[in-house]
Amino acid sequence: MQSPDHVTIDVRPVDAYNGWNLMGEKRGGHIAGAKSLSAKWASYIDWIEIVRNKEIRPHHQLILYGYDPGETEKVAEMFLSAGYKNISIYEHFLEEWVEDPELPMEYLKNYKQLVYPLWVKNLLEGENPPGYDNDKFRVCHAHYRNPDIYHQGHIPGSIALDTLLLESPKTWNRRSPEELEKNLTSLGITHDTTVVLYGRFDFPKNEDPFPGSSAGQLGAMRCAAIMLYAGVKDVRILNGGMQSWLDAAYDITTRETKPDTAEGFGEKIPQRPELMIDTPEAKNLITSKQGNLICVRSWPEYIGEVSGYNYIEKKGRIPGAVFADCGTDAYHMENYRNLDHSMREQNEVSKNWEKDGITADKHNAFYCGTGWRGSEAFLNAYLMGWPNVSVYDGGWFEWSNDPKNPVESGIPK
């Protein structure tokens, strides 16, 4: 592990890598410094591209480990067929490494807020899953102004959640505290409800509100950020969204579940106002040595080739903002996800951020066009346990609508 030419590779499910004890092991997480390369991904035609993106090179000495010897060997064979020659398998992770507290392990600090399909299934079937000790919950299927997406198939027992219940269709900012209380309680959600959010990826042809996008899971991330701001204490994301549920071969249904209304939220909204900032605070962050205003947009948006949206006219970027590339366009987050839509491993995300001065010791506020991508990047940092993170709610939409605000375009010098 001390050699720069060595790479340890964890082929278990990403949820085990993050920290869940899927086999009842004494310590959750992964061998310190290991990369996540789930055996599930070996069936993807572009598997070798995943490997290259993780900077795993043919000259490296690879040490693979997992739960199942057959799965580990399958991944080793994939490496052999791709021209990798220096490969070893470590077979004693569970009975040796996990059992010895002197052997280093790492995990995602807030991994319990990023749940897996069986966890949700057990919750819905009345079997308290690990890390859950509440007596009330809601599983929410997020969509944007398209309830048909829910009715065409959803996780049994989940309720439909239109993102517009939590954000304004005029400004795309979070709704007022009064509106948030009314709309959250209409779903039966109070400050002490455990809320699990997910979205779909496989939109029916011609019915995707954002063609070719992963709008459903992005919408779930947006709702999660606003719920945390409002004061819902236990907000969780189904890692990988509905795709992970389907990959687990669990049933879906078209039967609607209607929630009972709650009498009140139980606490004053917002309980965590620091999780959302507005334009004055964003301007302060630009000039602060203790903070970053972080642009989670695509490169074409950042340099002003496109605005990113058909309802935003002005192109360009906020001067002084740090660029944290989302991916191809305004509706994708490839740089923050694995190919199965699960969240990318924390070490890769934080390493990319660190190159641009985005570190845990600063106040980091993430923004995009209207808050969705910014919310997902915010949740990455939140799950890592970073202590001072926010969403700049107005984003490029609000900033660019004020002619007094400066704008830049072109490739930065």
Specify the long-range contacts of residues 344-350, CB closer than 8 Å, at least 24 apart.
344/380, 345/14, 345/17, 345/35, 345/36, 346/108, 346/380, 346/383, 346/384, 347/33, 347/35, 348/54, 349/380, 349/384, 350/384
Q: Is it the case that residue 409 has pLDDT exceeding 60?
A: yes
Phi and psi angles of residue 167, each rounded to the nearest 5 degrees, phi first? -135, 155
Q: Is it the case that residue 210 has pLDDT exceeding 70?
A: no
Q: Among the residues of 278-343, which ranges form H helices? A: 279-287, 299-302
Mean pLDDT of 117-146: 96
Give which of 359, 322, 352 is closest to 336, Cα–Cα.
352
Tell me which of 11-20, 175-184, 276-285, 332-341 is least confident: 332-341
Whole-structure pTM value: 0.95
Residue type, 381: A
What per-residue confidence (pLDDT) applies to 139? 98
User: Which letter does DSSP use for residue 265 in this model?
Assistant: -
What per-residue confidence (pLDDT) applies to 132? 96
Task: Return d(Cα 138, Cα 157) in angstroms, integer.
Answer: 9
Mean pLDDT of 94-122: 98
Tell me which of 124-128, 204-208, 395-399 is least confident: 204-208
Residue type, 22: L
Please confirm, yes or no, whether 295 is among the known catalytic residues: no
Mean pLDDT of 331-360: 95
Task: Return d(Cα 388, Cα 365) in angstroms, integer.
Answer: 9
Mean pLDDT of 357-381: 97
More confident residue, 271 or 310: 271
Q: Is it the case that residue 1 has pLDDT exceeding 90?
A: no
Mean pLDDT of 145-168: 95
Q: CA distances (Å), 146 to each of 152, 254, 348, in order?
A: 11, 15, 34
Q: Among the residues of 47-176, which ranges form H helices? A: 47-53, 69-81, 117-124, 147-151
Q: Is it the case that residue 179 has pLDDT exceeding 50?
A: yes
What per-residue confidence (pLDDT) applies to 209? 42
Phi and psi angles of residue 237, each rounded to the nearest 5 degrees, phi first? -115, 135
**Which domains, from first to last, does the chain contain?**
6-106 (3.40.250.10), 112-247 (3.40.250.10), 273-400 (3.40.250.10)
What per-residue confidence (pLDDT) applies to 215? 66
